[in-house]
Structure 1
Amino acid sequence: MTDPGLIDGRYRLVRPLGRGAMGVVYEAEDENLRRRVALKKLSAVGGMWAGDEALRRFNREAEALARIDHPGVVSLYDSGLHGDVPYFVMQIVDGVDLATLVEAGALTSGAACAVGLGMAQALAAAHEAGVLHRDVKPTNVGITRQGSVVMHDFGLARLAGESAITRTGVMMGTPQFMAPEVIMGAAPGPTADLYGLGVCLHFMLTGNLPFGPGAEVGAVVDIALGAGVRPLSTGLFPFEPGKLALLVDQLCAREAFARPQTAAETARLLEPFVEDGGRSALADLVAANVRDTAVRQAHESPPRNCAPAESGPEYDWDENVLPNQRVRRRDEFRPLTLSTKTRRLVLSSMTPQNAASRQREAVSLVLRGELQEAAQMLSSITQVCLSSLGPHHPTTLTGQFWQAVCLARLGAGPEALELFSRVNRHTDHRGNDGHD
């Protein structure tokens, strides 16, 4: 008998990773191959795009991924219908996105150029396959724990030879990283993606958004079409002017003809700036970020209210708002993160009854070495158990024990020992009270 909890009899949803007006992305378990995947389901009914238009854009994203075969682009595994709801299945990228990595500050030039080179190589493969990304920005760039760069979210992709899917008066993309010619309504070309790459490099090297973190959309557009991105080569930044600064300035040029014309050319220009060990430096940064996040999650207090978070738009603009009236959303280029809205979604779907089952899944992740995902899941489970079952309950203590194991394996030795000690104190307390 088919398990009704499986998508297409095969994919079991584990937790939401992000959601928007058009789709929801879940971490899922492929029961056939016993591997973790990302599964995206179409969910828009009356959002920014409705009916056939939403379906066309959803299918275009799947087609774009299917065309590209490159380690720097997230892989498409499968697609289908669950009832009448389309879905597709992708590689799940372990690590962090570029925006998260830069939260701690600017990257070294070697690490930044290693990311830029990975992005350029991925875009070269996409462009060769006839796919324009059209939404190159830090949240769409994943950095794995091995220091590899993987680009994802081709939801705004344009395929060669096909007309655009858009509506009059709707701006597609994120203005902080959108090429000026696209803002003005011109058809995007490969150099528009390279502009986004250049702005990402500017962001990595300075640690700041090019037009300021609180800039209103209208002001961003005015600057992008006017003065443009402030050049690195002016010496106004704590960054030594030189050939790298000139290359970044060329990529961020207002006029498309002034930029490098292909992603392959951009990759060749970036290669001399990638220091030996640049990928290792990236891997170290990701490892530190994952470790620090796990430590922070292990010390979070149980939430008083686990109500589901409101979903945020996957794409940028309300069709009923005119371009000159749009207001910048908070965290415009970071609509959802696991540490905020999505974590509340995870918590809202968990109960004490299913916590033990989820805990077994998390332990399996620990034993397979998938520590980042295990730490996130155990943190959510433990918070629910602390709130609903109390600190002395066996399920709570077991969750905290495996949290400590995760911390130890992620390199957070002192924090792991502290958590082990906490578990031991509660275990001793239970013994003294005559409990099993």
Structure 2
Amino acid sequence: MQGLLIAGRYRLADSIGSGGMGRVWRAHDEVLHRAVAIKELTAALYVSDSDQAVLLARTRSEARAAARINHSAVVTIHDVLEHDGRPWIVMELVEGNSLADEVKESGRVEAREAARIGLWVLRALRAAHSAGVLHRDVKPGNVLIGQDGRVLLTDFGIAQIEGDTTITRTGEVVGSVDYLAPERVRGHDPGPSSDLWALGATLYTAVEGRSPFRRTSPISTMQAVVEEEAAEPQHAGPLGSVITALLRKDPAHRPSAEQAEQMLAEAAEGRRPSAAQAFVPTQNLGPDAESRTGYGSGSGSGTGTGPQYTSGTGFPYGGETATPTPSHASATPTVIGPPAAP
């Protein structure tokens, strides 16, 4: 393939990346005399004619989605073409590594740098959401870090454009399973907050060096996404509470993009975002937890901002059952004072 001329214009140089759907080549545009990246959809080699039509539709969807987003943190799409019966995407060449490569090489990313990376990815997502585009596959492999420090979000190949009919077949799971938001695993339609959840999982991987929910199989991974809480990050520093806020199971309890951007900006400066704590679920920490969390006060429903775990209800979205706590007979707590005089 090296040296192959595509569409009479783009000459392939060397392969710079590959994935389940395709391979990315460094190439030279012989018309404009510039270096570009070309994504070859290798999946087209192994699918039926009918599936090739779906793949071509996805490729065009990617180009159309990216073209609607005008932001410096989104990889620019130059052209979409067909060669050898397959779709190819010509895009901006980013000299550098993906976040996945950085984690693989270094073990993990320093917390403030991870917050800076997350801030730029969030800005790219806000621009996409404003254009009516959901990314739906935010993960470390799709976050590019240039040699000049630029951060760019790429691969809108399974993006969903608001107002378009979906090209995804019924029952098909789209995206990397350990970065799928819980509501998507449950089969619900994704929204902007689903991309924010994936960003939280991506930042967790960056600072800890491992995916928070990846298990031994896709099924057990999806079960963990829906039912289990991520282990508390040990190297996140001020970014920890932001990650926890983004990884809330219920999309209604996650911060908005504007709130998340403010939190990430503070974490990138090394400050602990005070607003993030409001999104962190309060834990039942022992016999005296009521006095510290507000659980069980009054009528027993709890006054804390986090999930209210009461006897027999279990944890939200599955998981193990909460430890039963005694219910209160009345709203007025019993006060134990000094013994009465004889």
| Fold shared by both chains (TM-score > 0.5) | yes
Identity, % of aligned positions: 37
Q: CA deviation at 1:250?
A: 0.9
Name the residue aligned to 2:58: 57
- Structure 2 counterpart of 1:12, one-letter code: R
Q: How does 1:267-278 map to 2 (within 5 A)?
A: 267-275=261-269
- Structure 1 counterpart of 2:27, one-letter code: A
Change (3 A) 1:130 1:183: same
Q: Distance in 1 between the 2:70 and 2:54 partners?
A: 27
Name the residue aligned to 1:47: 47
Q: CA deviation at 1:63?
A: 0.7
Name the residue aligned to 2:202: 200
CA contact (8 A) 1:22 1:47 kept: no
Q: Which SS does the other structure have where 1:154 is aligned?
A: coil
- Structure 2 counterpart of 1:224, one-letter code: V
Q: CA deviation at 1:23?
A: 4.1
Name the residue aligned to 1:408: none
Name the residue aligned to 1:31: 30
List per-residue Cα deviations over 1:87-131 (Å, max 9, x = no partner). 331001111110111122222221110111011111111111111
Q: CA deviation at 1:190?
A: 0.4
Q: Which SS does the other structure have where 1:51 is aligned?
A: helix
Name the residue aligned to 2:95: 94
Q: CA deviation at 1:74?
A: 0.5
Question: Are positions 1:256 and 2:257 aligned together?
Answer: no
Q: Distance in 2 between the 1:150 and 1:144 partners?
A: 8
CA contact (8 A) 1:12 1:31 kept: yes
CA contact (8 A) 1:97 1:139 kept: yes
Q: Which SS does the other structure have where 2:14 is aligned?
A: strand
Q: Distance in 1 between the 2:127 and 2:241 partners?
A: 25
Name the residue aligned to 1:119: 121
Name the residue aligned to 2:178: 176
Change (3 A) 1:82 1:206: closer
Q: Which SS does the other structure have where 1:77 is aligned?
A: strand
Question: Are positions 1:266 and 2:268 aligned together?
Answer: no
Change (3 A) 1:119 1:5: closer
Q: Distance in 2 between the 1:59 and 1:207 partners?
A: 34
Q: Distance in 2 between the 1:239 and 1:190 partners?
A: 24
Q: Distance in 2 between the 1:239 and 1:80 partners?
A: 43
Question: Are positions 1:224 and 2:225 aligned together?
Answer: yes
Name the residue aligned to 2:286: none
- Structure 2 counterpart of 1:15, one-letter code: D
Name the residue aligned to 2:133: 131
Name the residue aligned to 1:17: 16
List per-residue Cα deviations over 1:121-175 (Å, max 9, x = no partner). 1111111111111000000001011111111111111111112222233221112
Name the residue aligned to 1:156: 158
Q: Which SS does the other structure have where 1:50 is aligned?
A: helix
CA contact (8 A) 1:22 1:54 kept: no
List per-residue Cα deviations over 1:201-237 (Å, max 9, x = no partner). 111222222135x5322221111111232344xxxx2
Q: Distance in 2 between the 1:195 and 1:155 partners?
A: 19
Name the residue aligned to 1:247: 242
Q: CA deviation at 1:62?
A: 0.9
Q: Distance in 2 between the 1:272 and 1:88 partners?
A: 37
CA contact (8 A) 1:61 1:157 kept: yes
Q: Which SS does the other structure have where 2:51 is aligned?
A: coil
Q: Structure 1, unaligned stretches of length 5 or more? A: 277-436
Q: How does 1:274-285 map to 2 (within 5 A)?
A: 274-275=268-269
List per-residue Cα deviations over 1:233-256 (Å, max 9, x = no partner). xxxx2555x5x3222111011111
CA contact (8 A) 2:23 2:41 kept: yes
Q: Distance in 2 between the 1:260 and 1:81 partners?
A: 41
* Structure 1 or 2: more helix by fraction: 1
- Structure 2 counterpart of 1:47, one-letter code: V
Name the residue aligned to 1:68: 69
Q: How does 1:206-217 map to 2 (within 5 A)?
A: 206-212=208-214, 215-217=216-218
CA contact (8 A) 2:111 2:235 kept: no
Larger Rg: 2
- Structure 2 counterpart of 1:54, one-letter code: L
Change (3 A) 1:100 1:81: closer
CA contact (8 A) 2:26 2:93 kept: yes
CA contact (8 A) 2:59 2:89 kept: no
CA contact (8 A) 2:13 2:26 kept: yes
- Structure 2 counterpart of 1:123, one-letter code: L
Relative contact order higher in (CA < 8 Å, ≥ 6 apart) = 1
Name the residue aligned to 2:278: none
What is the number of equivalent residue pairs in this alignment? 265
Q: Distance in 1 between the 2:128 and 2:166 partners?
A: 17
Q: How does 1:306-345 map to 2 (within 5 A)?
A: none
Q: Distance in 1 between the 2:213 and 2:7 partners?
A: 45
- Structure 2 counterpart of 1:98, one-letter code: L
Q: CA RMSD in A?
A: 2.3
Q: CA deviation at 1:42?
A: 4.2
